[in-house]
Structure formats: C-alpha cells, structure tokens
Amino acid sequence: MDEFSFINAIKPNTYNQPALIKGIGDDAAVFRSTSDIVTTVDTFVEDIHFSLETMAPFHIGYRILAANISDLAAMGAEPAFYLVSMCIPKKWKQSALEEIYQGMHELASMYQMDLIGGDTVSSERLMISITAMGYVPENKARYRSHAEPNDIVFATGTLGDSRAGLEILLQGQECKDKDYYIERHRLPNPRVALASGLCEIDRVALNDISDGISSEANEIAEASNVELTIIEEKIPVSNSFQQFSKEQQYDWKLSGGEDFELLGTVSEVHWPRVQEIAVQTDTPIQQIGYVREAEEPCVLIQTHGETKKLMKSGYTHLK
Amino acid sequence: MDEFSFINAIKPNTYNQPALIKGIGDDAAVFRSTSDIVTTVDTFVEDIHFSLETMAPFHIGYRILAANISDLAAMGAEPAFYLVSMCIPKKWKQSALEEIYQGMHELASMYQMDLIGGDTVSSERLMISITAMGYVPENKARYRSHAEPNDIVFATGTLGDSRAGLEILLQGQECKDKDYYIERHRLPNPRVALASGLCEIDRVALNDISDGISSEANEIAEASNVELTIIEEKIPVSNSFQQFSKEQQYDWKLSGGEDFELLGTVSEVHWPRVQEIAVQTDTPIQQIGYVREAEEPCVLIQTHGETKKLMKSGYTHLK
C-alpha cells in the first residue's frame, strides 16, 4: 500500500463544521467552540470487536464510528469531529481500508461530522481507534450520576436486535426479518436527535446501551446511588423477536449489547415532555421501570411480578 | 491482569485544568474553552516505534506523550488534556503498564495536563495511541503554511542528539556525554514554553522536529510555497557531537528525528524579539537559514558555500 496515496484518498476535500479552523494537514487540527466540548476514545481490534466473517469493511467503519457517536449522544452532545488512528496489517488492501473510511464517512455526513486527524502505522492485526468530539450546551452534559429516586426509567428503540443479527450471521440460519436484524447489527444508528432534543430538560441521566442494559443500568445505579427497577415485560423488543428461544430473548435483550440505544432516567414531571420530544425526533421510547432510594445501589428486574437482582453480567439472583 | 484494578491504578484522583467539567468515569469527558482548541493523535507500536531493548516502560510513556505535546507546541498551543488508548498483550505485566502511565504522568504534570479518557483492549503487540488537546489564543495557531520570503529560519535546542542516544543504546558503545545523549532520546522535552511565548508575534511558521529537519523544512516549503535555505554550519549541535563520524553527524542532525525541537520561520523585523522570548523561556535558539520566493517550493542546503537540494529523506543532490 502506498501511504501517500492512501492518505490522499481518505483526506476530506471539504469540511462541514463552521467551528473548524484547520483540518488535516498540519501538526494538529484547530477548532473553536462556545459550547462545552465532549470527547471520547474507543478502540476496536479485528477478530475481537469485529470480523470480516460477519461484516464488509464498510460496515466495520460505520459501526465503529456509531459506537463513538453513541457515547457522545449519551452525554447529550452533538457530534462534530473525529480522528482515526489505525494499525494496519500488510494483508489489508488499500481498497478495503478506503471502504472502512467510506463507512465512517457515510455515518459522519449524517451529522456534518468532520474527520480532522489521524495516524496510520503497520501492525499484525487491524486495530482502529477513534477519538470523537462533540458539543453540548453549557451545563447540559448528561451524566449517569444524575438519576434520582422517583424518576422513571426509559429505553429507546428495541433491544437485543444487534445480537440477534450477529447470531444470524454466525449461524447462517433462516428466520423472519433476517435482513432487518443483520442491518441493526451492521449499521446501528446512535440516538443523537433524541439526546440533543432533551437539552431543554433540566435533569436527565443517560447511558448508551453498548454492553446491554444489565450493565448500563448498574452503572447508573452505582453512579447515582439509587435502586433501579426494570420490568422485564416492558423492555422494548422487535415484533418478530419472539421467534427466538426464551433464553436467547432474555439474554440478548438484557446483555446482547451494541444496540447503541439509550437508557435513561427522568423525573415523572418531565416524562410527558420527553415522550413528545421522542415523537418529534422520530425515536421510539418506552418506560421500562422506575428509580427508588437505595440502601446500597442495585438493579432489580421484575418478571411477572417476581423480583430478582440483576447483575452487570446479566446474571440474576434472588434478592 | 485485572482490568478493574488497572484502570483504578491509572485513573487520576485529581484534575488540574480549571476548564475540565467531567474527567474519567462517564461515557465521555467534558470541558469548556474560550480559546481555540488544538487536537492531535499519534500512535506507537512496540518494536516499530519503541522497544524495551532501549527504554524502560517509564521512558516509553514519557516519550510518547512528549511527541504529542510537541505537536501541540508546533501549533503554538498550551497542552491541556490527553486520552490514551492501549492494545495490551498478555505478556505485559500490570506493574510495567502502570509505569508507562507514570512516565506520561511525569511529563503531563509539568504542564498541569489531565488524563481525561482512554480505552484498553487486548492484542498481540503493545500499541499506544494518544490524543492530546490544548489551547491556543484566537487566531494564533501556528501553521507550516505561514512562511514568507525574507523570513529568517530558526531552530531550537540541538539536533541529532536523540538519534545519537539511540545508537549509543543499540551499539552499547562508550562515548563522551553518553548519559546526556541517552536522556535526550528517552526523555525529550517539547518546546512548549517558547511556542506559547511566541503568541505575541503576529506571524510565525512552526513545525516540530519529529522526522528530522530535512523533512520538516520541506513541509514548510511546500505548505508556504517558498524556497528555504539552510546553512549546514549553523545547524545547532551539542558540544561533543563532533566525536561521531562526519557521516553520522550529517545524517543525524538532518534526518535523525525525534529531537522534538522546533523549526520555524519569522520576519527579520520580529527575529530580535523572538530571541528575547527564547532567553526568557530558557530556550536555546539559532538562526539557521532564510526564506526566498520560489518558482517551485524546495529546500536548499549550503555547506561551505556549496548549495545542494535537500530532499525530505535527507538525501541531497545538485540543484
């Protein structure tokens, strides 16, 4: 691979963000902001976090950037910039690498996000690390520590779809809505519009569902020092999700992860307004539980009236 | 390695930057800035960019962060934040990894820089990617495209030392000032104080010397569309540098790289003031050449009155 022609191929010709002063081409990029700046980094390794067995290079790029944008959304931020660092094995062709960048670019352009920097080095295994940056209005960053007793707990979209898509790809099995599940796995859409829309609400606790709600709910409970109860029947799933076995449904919706939906809590007073904003931003949303004072922070799951403790791993045990 | 205890070990207990709103512990970090923001990413792979043969883990961390801070300095920026992404092989012990972070922390704390995010994944080979962010006063970012005809060309510090240190470590040879050269290789000091001090000067072109001045000078010439002449005898070197062979001296000072000094150009009118700022910030500085209008951008090197064309690689040929 010719590094020079590769960098020229992936370098943007134009930029979208008005705040950008200097993009790629100097020692560093420069931008200006009157909002608070949110920044996160996520690293992905071939055959650990993604595989050509289940995805084209385009999907790899799309999905990796989606994971980063989802972190920004979970902070209430609008995506603005990204930097990509790649370790590239010799066996990867330039055309396939360019496809990865096209996948990122496809998603980035939905948000007028600009690629403003990066680095490529050689390595045995493909590794991609993305630093994403976004804006949030002053003091409107959404923390997982902001849940309070008597909040309602909500989730967006449907859960478990990404994991279902992965299993379908790995097992090669036929099933209803096969393409839908596969797309949910390969091309997830972070909930940026809702997260931004919520900025008028004073207090919202938010996490994105990257590891499954069992993990995310526990993070909110711990950070906010509250008890969070999830009602299993209320966890939103796709219409044809019941075609999978009971064990799969339970496992995938609680711990499947990578749906990049949002899990949040908000006061009962603001819940009707949150639902309106969800309608305006075309975001399916559902109350799935409630928050209570805790002696020690924990997550409970109620199934047909029976309550168990839900661990980060998705494992449950009697209270 | 226990990931939880590792993250706890490297997570800062306190932060220094007043602009930081949220550090490590949520989906992303948040900060606020009234200055322009400069950001860069640099990736380093074991046995390509660094090796335990020539450095302790502490040096690896220090040097990698120095490379990033040097990029910020080359933009005229004050370092403020960094995020670290690491791919870690099983063979690396937690104590050695913590030492890498201690090396970064040692340098970071000189600038009150805060570690605000990161990611660790497993891999066959150690890979460290750092995203660094800093501030520069509005419209005072320093670009390599800002050189103009009749500027003087200057360099800070002494060049070739880092490469000399590396060779001493690899060959195990005895020589004068051995420890000095080794330290210059392992613990480079980016020229932040000078770069910040220069902010009162309207126009300065700057590059940091990471790949050697033959490469950096060509980047400035191309970006500014000028002809840049370097006078070989004026390139600053350490007192005992002449103990090395003529070929080594020539190669190391022009293409050794990783000295993390600054190469810049400034108008003759401002040169006296630049020298004063250099004295105030305790930065050795030296005029090494001048800028002229170019038919096509290039770098010339003058040795005892003879002028040759200097390529990016350090290779020279007759004009």
Model pLDDT for residues A207-262, shown as the tens digit of each residue: 999 999 999 999 999 999 999 999 999 999 999 999 999 999 999 999 998 999 99
The Cα of A239 is separated from the nearest Cα of chain B by a number of Å equal to: 30
pLDDT of residue A78: 95
**Residue range B28-55, pLDDT digits in tens:** 999 998 899 999 999 999 999 999 999 9
- Does the beta-carbon distance from A41 to B85 stay under 8 Å? yes
pLDDT at residue B319 is higher than 70: no
pLDDT of residue A319: 67
Do domains A3-136 and A144-318 share one topology? The answer is no
Sign of CA dihedral A15, A17, A19, A23: negative
The shortest CB-CB distance from B32 to any of A36, A45, A122 is to A36
**Residue range A269-290, pLDDT digits in tens:** 999 999 999 999 999 999 999 9
Residues of chain A above pLDDT 70, percent: 99
CATH of domain B3-136: 3.30.1330.10
Q: What residue ranges do the domains of chain A occupy?
A: 3-136, 144-318
Question: In whole numbers, what is the pLDDT of chain B averaged over residues?
Answer: 95
pLDDT band at B173 (very low <50, low <70, confident <90, very high): confident
pLDDT band at A5 (very low <50, low <70, confident <90, very high): confident
Residues of chain B above pLDDT 90, percent: 89
- Does the beta-carbon distance from A117 to B223 stay under 8 Å? no
pLDDT at residue B2 is higher than 80: no
pLDDT at residue A127 is higher than 80: yes
Report whether B286 contacts B245 (CB < 8 A).
no
- Say what angle helices B161-171 and B178-186 make with each other, to 10 degrees: 110
d(CA A315, CA A299): 11
The shortest CB-CB distance from B41 to any of A71, A77, A119 is to A119
Q: How far is CA A105 from CA A100, A111, A128, B129, in A?
A: 9, 10, 15, 22
- A236, A237, A242, A244 alpha-carbon torsion, rounded to 10°: -130
The shortest CB-CB distance from A30 to any of B37, B44, B87 is to B37
Q: Please give the annotated binding residues of A for substrate, written as ranges.
A: 49, 258, 315
pLDDT at residue B56 is higher than 90: yes
For A70, nearest residue in chain B (alpha carbons)? B27
- Give the total residue count for chain A: 319
Question: In whole numbers, what is the pLDDT of chain A averaged over residues?
Answer: 95
The Cα of B240 is separated from the nearest Cα of chain A by a number of Å equal to: 31
Q: What mean pLDDT do residues A46-50 have? A: 93
Q: How far is CA B217 from CA B103, B197, B255, B313, in A?
A: 30, 22, 11, 11
Which range has the worst mean pLDDT, A156-165, A167-176, B190-199?
A167-176
d(CA A134, CA A113): 9
- Give the total residue count for chain B: 319
d(CA A288, CA B210): 54
pLDDT band at B313 (very low <50, low <70, confident <90, very high): confident
Report whether B209 contacts B146 (CB < 8 A).
no
User: Given 3.90.226.10, 3.40.50.1220, 3.90.650.10, 1.10.1040.10, which CATH number is that of B144-318?
Assistant: 3.90.650.10
For A73, nearest residue in chain B (alpha carbons)? B27
The Cα of A185 is separated from the nearest Cα of chain B by a number of Å equal to: 21
pLDDT band at A304 (very low <50, low <70, confident <90, very high): very high
